[in-house]
A and B are shown apart, each in its own frame.
Chain A
Amino acid sequence: MKISDIIASANSNLFRNKTRTFLTILAVFIGSFTIILNSAINTGVNSYIDKQLEAAGGEGYLEIMTNEAVDIMSSMMSSSSEVKEYREASGNDQKSTYITDEQIEKARQIPGLESIDLIYSANPEYIKAKDSDKKFAVTNLNLMPRGNVNLDTTAGRKPDANTDKLEVALTEAYVNALGFSSDEDAIGKIVTFAVPNTVECYMVSKHSDCLKMVDAEVVGVQAPSIMAMGGMRANLALNQKIYDLATDGMPEEAKRHAFQATAQVDPEKIDEIKEKLKEVGLAAMTIDDEVGMIKVFFDAILVVFSIFGGIALLAASIGIINTLFMSVQERTREIGLMKAMGMSNGKIFFSFSCEAILLGFWGSVVGVVFSMIIGTIGDKIAHESFLKDFPTFELVKFDPINMLVIVLIIMFIAFLAGTLPARRAAKKDPIDALRYE
């Protein structure tokens, strides 16, 4: 018997008893549907989280503060009622939370450290389109650091850290406010930031007299993010320029106040480098250190759901075993006849296994189709309601390879379930089988 014939007969045998087959496929379907939809949500959410994490910093990207700053932060955040004894600081205590040039120099010597930049906070007062007088307050302008950090954009690209040109990425809200017709339209336009000079503003009577103007090119528009990393993004050059304008006239010592730095390092050596930075007095954190917990938590929920799916599949396997045992029983005489006609035990085994595999196949394929339909509808509903502001967040994402692997695994499980009845069929004695009433 040819394999194609075996598969074809197995399929037609299955649909001889439609109700039973349908119910068994339904059982497989419930398991596969749960697992497939779960996997799709997992893929969708994780790829979004990954995208967001890349926006916060990818592999080998470090955020750096001094050890003292970390201590102060953690003591501020701890709810401990313990009263510590006062200990006199050496020199200016506040100064120790700033990263010094010496520390930066030492950090640069660490092998595997590719770049390190101090972050100065830049606080412009307002933004306007260059050829317009409508001004909008700037609450949040963040640095787009050098290194492995991506920006989830709806148009354009992330601001370039390695250029002298002043570049900025807007948020969608600012695109609308500044009067650009679309995200694409905003790209390449020039915007103007107004920066108050700290020294001059003490002296002038009219506040607008101490504002310095700086022009920047819009190079990108970033997608809304579920995490709190929104705000406009300035490249290093623009950030530096705004800081310079704000601190112009201040003593050099006072200018160099940065308590944060960012670094890009070789991801392979990350632990080693973190250790060495600590010796220099700098505490480095990867994004995973900071927000990795979210992912772990989310994964745990999906694992629980996958376990439910797995249990459903286990029950379905028992259904497959049951269905096939009934089928073997019913077709005892047919088995006897086929054996009398020269069908080998192996082929009998294979033809019943084939039925099991087909049950798995149909159950999982229907599962794929339904989860795609339900997933797509669910995604649509989500984007019309609670995910309205996050167009780049695909709640469910169907990865074809994932789907295929799941289908194959379910077919394999079905095959395993089918081996018991198939073995019984193969072992039947043709004469007993023919005599069977």
Chain B
Amino acid sequence: MEKVIEAKNLKKVYGKKSAVFTALKGVDLDIYEGESVAIVGKSGSGKSTLMHLLALLDTPTSGTIKIDGEESTKLSKKELNKLRNSRFGFVFQQFFMNPKDTVLNNVVLPLKIAGISRKKRKQLAMDALKIVDLESKAKNKATDLSGGQKQRVCIARAIVNNPKIIFADEPTGNLDSATGDKITDLLFDLNKKQGVTLIVVTHDEDLAKLCQRIVRISDGKIIADNSVRKDTAKKASERREKEAARVKKANEKEAK
């Protein structure tokens, strides 16, 4: 398995002089292609900071990050932007949608930034909406959607550029458990069927257990990095399938 992210001795310090706060105190983390990794920790543990560094949204105070073997510090700003645009997908707890714009226009955003032609990006966005089962809502205003639908649009937006890695920051944090499960299913489906590397930042143990690997972080350090027990994983996948069936049924009912 290829290493997609290779982080060595990451440190991040905020503030200056008397008000110094060390968010990360030397973190080593390798993430392999096709993995699903949960980064778990309490708030203030440094998990979000770690994700931001891995996603190249921020630069570490010291340490190195390699993406596909390329060291991030050696990339120009332009290359960095291009890398994030083409290889990463982001799903956030608060959705970050443009509520007054249409669903399609929201999904299209990464492609627009990439400078892809109007016709092609519409096609790709419709394909992505098909995956999250919202193609019928393409022309609706984003504000008219339910919370679960909004997060599905965000997933469509995250996968529209066919990324290698999806960063999901508390993807179910704003949703009730039933809709949350559907989102989880979608994300793990992408991970399984399309081989997308999934990095989930969460404090939700249930969500974390669905991942192959759980990285526990506390006080700026990794305190545990282990795979979930096999039986738990099996149970989790069964539970997911059940849930999927239930949702499908519910949808069919709705359609009628």
A contacts, CB < 8 Å to B: 1-2, 5, 9, 12, 16, 333-334, 336-345, 347, 430-431, 434
Contacts and interface: CB of A to CB of B under 8 A. Distances in A.
A2 B112 CA distance: 8
Contacts of A9: 112
A342 B113 contact: yes
A342 B82 contact: yes
Contact of B84 (A2, A336, A340): A340
Nearest to B169: A434
B21 interface: no
B85 A342 contact: yes
B51 to A, nearest CB: 10
Given A334-B96, A431-B57, A434-B92, A342 B114 contact: yes
Given A333-B96, A434-B92, A341 B109 contact: yes
Contacts of A347: 113
Most chain B CB inside 10 Å of its own CB: which residue of A334, A347, A431: A431
Given A338-B109, A344-B77, A431 B85 contact: no
B15 interface: no
Q: Which 5 A-B pairs rank lowest in CB-CB distance, beginning with the nearest?
A: A342-B85, A342-B81, A342-B84, A337-B96, A343-B113
A343 B81 contact: yes
A344 B112 contact: no
Contacts of B112: 1, 5, 9
B100 A16 contact: yes
Contact of A1 (B86, B96, B100, B113): B113
A337 B109 CA distance: 10
Contacts, number: 56
Nearest to B118: A5
A427 to B, nearest CB: 13
A145 B250 CA distance: 99
B67 interface: no
A342 B83 contact: yes
B81 A344 contact: yes
Interface string B230-256: 000000000000000000000000000
B57 A341 contact: no
19 contacts: A1-B112, A1-B114, A5-B115, A9-B112, A12-B101, A16-B100, A334-B98, A337-B90, A337-B92, A340-B57, A341-B85, A342-B83, A342-B86, A342-B114, A344-B78, A344-B81, A430-B57, A431-B52, A434-B96
A403 B78 CA distance: 40
Most chain B CB inside 10 Å of its own CB: which residue of A1, A334, A339: A1
B171 interface: no
Given A340-B84, A341-B84, 18 more contacts: A1-B113, A5-B112, A337-B90, A337-B109, A340-B55, A340-B90, A342-B82, A342-B83, A342-B84, A342-B86, A342-B113, A343-B85, A343-B113, A344-B78, A344-B81, A345-B77, A347-B113, A431-B52
